[in-house]
Every structure is written in C-alpha cells, then in structure tokens.
Amino acid sequence: MTRFCFSLVLIVVLSSCEPPPVFPGADRRQNSRPARIEGEVVVSSTARGNVVVLLFDAARPPPPTGTGRPLTFALVPRLRLFGDVGDFDTGPFVAPFAFSFVNPGQYQVRAFIDANDDFVPWYGVTNEVNSGDVGGAAIDSISRLPLTIIVPAQEDGTPTPVLDVPVSIADTARVPVDRPVFEVAMAGTNVPLTEVMLAGAPLALDLRVKPVTDGVMRQAQPIFLARFVDDNGDGMPDDANGDGVPDMWPRVVVRKMANEAVGVNPLADENDLDRNGVIDETGADYDHVNPMGGATIPADGTPDLVVLAAGINPTELAPQLLDAMGRVKTTPTPITRLPIVIRPTALDATDSRRPVPIKGVPEGRYAITVIQQTGQTWRVPNELQDGLATRFGLPVVPSQTFVVRVGPR
C-alpha cells in the first residue's frame, strides 16, 4: 500500500511538471501573436550619449511630415555603443537594437543621440531633441527617404520577424537649435498670458520664445525658424490650399482639448483621452457645414478632431523671409517672435488634407502647438504648469498654463 501511494504521488508530481494545454480565448489582445523588429544602429558622429530608437506607424509619421507619436522606443546605452573611445573619434560605432511585441503592419524607425542626457519619454516637454542631439533613421537606400518596414503575417496570422534593419545616425543630421519653447502675449504687448477668450472677431497674438533651464529642462536658446514654403522652386511663396495666405514654416495648430472633468488628463485633447495620437472610437461629434452652399451636415456619430483656423501673420515677417530680389530665401530665418492670428472658425481636421468646416465654434479650451520644419514642436498648455510640474519633478513656469478659451468657463 505504501509503495502504491508513493508511486501515485510520483506520477502526480511528474504530471504537474508538464505544461498544460493552452487554448485561445475570446479576448483579441490575448490572441495576438506579436513579432519583433531588430537590427543595428550605425553611428558616425563625435556626439556621445544614449541612443533613443523610436518606432512609428508608417501611416502616422512624426513631424514635420505628420503628427504621429512613437508607438514605443528602445534605448541603446552609451557605454555599449561608444565604449571608452576618444571624444573626437567619429566611428562608425555599431550596436544592436530590438523592438518586441510588434504586430503585423507597416512601420518607420527614427533615432537620435541624446547628447544632452535630458530625454524623458513620459512628458511632452522632455521627449524631443534639442540643440546638439544628432538624428537618424532607417533609410531606403534608393529613395533616401525613411524606410517603410513591413511586418507580414503568415496564413495562420503569425507575424514574421523583421531582422537586420540598419539605422544610420550621422553628424550631418545634428540638431541646430533648441525646441521652439514659447509664451503667449496679445499682439504688440510684452505681458505673458495664461488665458485668452476667442469671441466673434479674429484674435491676434504674439508667440515669444521662452528659455527654460532648470533641472532636466535644458532649452537655453529656443528659436522659431521661419521661412516661406517654395516646393516648386519658382522663388514665390506657395499657397497650396488657395486661401490667399502664403504657406509658411513653422506650422501653428490650435486644437480643442478635452473638457475638464475628474479622471481626465488635464492635458488630453478632445477625442484622444489616452493621448496616443489616435482619435478615440467614441467621443464628441459636431454638425458640419457644406462649404459650397452653407447647408448643415448633421453629425454622423464619428468623433471629430476639432481645430481653429489659425496661422502666422506673414505681413510683418515677409521682408525678413525674402531676398533682395523679392524671392523666397532658401534657408530659414531665426526669429524670436511669431505673430499669429486665430479666427473664430472651427474645422474637423480628422483628414488633415481636407479639413471640413464645423457649424459654430465648440466651447471649451484650445491648445496651441508650433511645429518646426526640423520636426521639433512645442505646445501650451504643458506639464510645466503649476499643479503638474511639481508632481513630475519639473520646474513651474506659469506662462505654460496658457489656453485659448471659447465660451464661458
């Protein structure tokens, strides 16, 4: 009997060491079969620092070509890449990188050397490059444009890993300026604002550079890089949308924020409560207007991306952006003040190429974002405002609380 009991216990113990059968459940997230993207970072630069490698959805590239946000990032430590080489050695230096849990799809990879050691991915004020950092990307060897990396799926849905992706970083892509950190004042004044009301008339504002050097914030010399767009090379400013206003860099976006409510991130945009850059499946929807006849187009149940009609006032800047022959300068002009105009007109910019007029102007708060041609951005309000900054260990800068408000509080 004792021998039988011992044998039975042994069988149970041995059986318990074998993995149980696993069956897929109804939850699609549990059924996903992610792959990976991996390769090598190749650096030719005298800059030193950790290398940040960023993964983007190819359909939503980062500024200046799009407004996409990274899906994830990988870090290549400085010591692994550069070792103890001399400061003036340009390499090339090589180290591996990898992204795990990548679903089937199309992607782009960007990268940079964090030469200032101030990259903090969690905050909008610390998650971009500034002066001295060195950029790079996975580049198509023929077109010299960012490479589209395709992660295919097999017939059973299993994605295929993508290996040997080269990411090049070189001093030719060294970032020349700090981010366009700014504060807002009424046009022609010097007093920074924390709020302004938009009513029935256009609103003229000045965006003025605002250095911030405190703790991890190292934006000592912010600047706007202004120039007229001349993509056809005829020497005259382009007007792609035919609105009679020349196209310019930087770009200015004034977007509606989420309503202030308990449990909602105070910096979230409307219909993007998780701040992933993708319109939420459910959210606020508004009546549109047919631009041809002015007829109302009823809300269709699809959440909108609401922006205000806004842009740079080119009148004052034009003499600085044209040469002696009246032709567009081929290089940007650094300026410290950017005059902008915001009109009381709302648009649904879900398709940024074809924004659709919205009936009326939705009430609430609106944020201002400046996008440089370098791809650098700045947005107010941000994490430097009182009430958030101390929580995150960032400096308090009162002007960074600024919002445009439509309607009552």
Residues 50 and 191 in one domain: no
Q: Do 136 and 217 fall into the same domain?
A: no
Are 168 and 186 part of one and the same domain? no
Instruction: In whole angstroms, give the CA distance from residue 129 to residue 386.
Output: 24
- The pLDDT > 70 percentage for the chain reads 92
What pLDDT shows up at residue 280?
A: 94
Task: Note whether 218 and 329 are same-domain residues.
Answer: yes
> Do 49 and 162 sit in the same domain of this protein?
yes
Task: Look at residue 11 and tell me if it is in a domain.
Answer: no
Nearest to 367 by CA among 357, 377, 375, 358: 377
Give the residue-averaged pLDDT of 321-337. Answer: 95
Q: What is the pLDDT of residue 32?
A: 59
Contacts of 381 (CB under 8 A, 6+ apart): 266, 267, 367, 400, 401, 402, 403
Q: Are residues 265 and 368 in the same domain?
A: yes
Min mean pLDDT across 3-7, 18-22, 56-60, 81-85 is at 3-7
Q: Residue 20: pLDDT above 80?
A: no
pLDDT tops 50 at residue 38? yes
* Long-range CB contact pairs, 85-91, < 8 A, 24+: 87/46, 87/48, 88/46, 89/46, 90/44, 90/45, 90/46, 90/171, 91/43, 91/44, 91/45
Contact 210, 181 (CB under 8 A): yes
Q: What is the pLDDT of residue 168?
A: 97
What backbone torsions phi and psi does residue 50 show, to the nearest 5 degrees? -65, 150
Residues 125 and 215 placed together within one structural domain of the fold: no
- Side chain identity at residue 79, one-letter code: L
Tell me: do 340 and 228 sit in the same domain: yes
Please give the average per-residue pLDDT across 237-264, as a whole number: 91
How many domains does one find in the chain? 2
CATH of the domain at 78: 2.60.40
Q: Are residues 139 and 220 in the same domain?
A: no
Query: Does any domain span residue 4?
Result: no
- What's the whole-number mean pLDDT along residues 202-225? 96
Residues 6+ positions from 2 with CB-CB distance below 8 Å: none
In the predicted structure, residue 346 carries a pLDDT above the cut 90 = yes
List the beta bridge partners of residue 53.
74, 111
Task: Determine, yes or no, domain membership for 23.
Answer: no
Strand partners, 369: 253, 379
In the prediction, which pLDDT does 156 show? Answer: 82
Do the domain assignments include residue 202?
yes
Q: Is residue 14 part of a domain?
A: no
pLDDT above 70 for 12: no
Whether 13 shows a pLDDT value over 60: the answer reads no
pLDDT tens string 85-138? 888 899 999 999 999 999 999 999 999 999 999 999 999 999 999 999 999 999
User: Domain of 150?
Assistant: 30-174
Question: Where does a domain end: 154, 174, 194?
Answer: 174
- For Cα atoms 47, 129, 335, give the angle at the middle one, nearest 5 degrees: 110
Assess whether pLDDT exceeds 90 at residue 10. Answer: no
pLDDT band at 141 (very low <50, low <70, confident <90, very high): confident
Tell me, what's the pLDDT at 241?
Answer: 82
Q: Looking at residue 158, what is its pLDDT?
A: 85
Name the least confident of 147-161, 222-236, 309-323, 361-375: 147-161
Q: Do the beta carbons of residue 219 and residue 212 sit within 8 Å?
A: yes
Amino acid at 217: M
pLDDT band for 408, please (50, 70, 90 cuts).
confident
273-300 confidence digits (pLDDT tens): 998 889 999 999 999 999 888 899 999 9
- 151 and 45 assigned to the same domain: yes
Question: Position of tokens 């050691």?
Answer: 117
Q: Is the pLDDT of residue 8 over 90?
A: no
Tell whether 263 and 378 lie within a shared domain: yes
Q: Is the pLDDT of residue 219 over 90?
A: yes
Lowest mean pLDDT among 82-86, 126-130, 233-237, 378-382: 82-86
279 and 160 within one domain: no
| Domain-terminating residue out of 119, 151, 174 | 174
Q: Please state, in angstroms and rounded to a whole number, the distance separating the CA atoms of residues 194 and 66.
A: 28
21 in any annotated domain:
no
Q: Please report the pLDDT score of residue 173 as a whole number.
A: 95
- Residue 13 belongs to a domain: no
Q: Is residue 5 part of a domain?
A: no
Average pLDDT, the chain: 90
Final residue before a domain boundary, out of 149, 174, 199:
174
Give me the pLDDT at residue 154, please.
85
The token pair at 337 is 């003040």
- Calpha distance 16→10 (Å, rounded): 10
Residue 272 phi, psi (nearest 5): -145, 60
Residue 389's closest CA among 398, 378, 376, 380?
398
Task: Say if CB 340 and CB 379 are below 8 A apart.
Answer: no
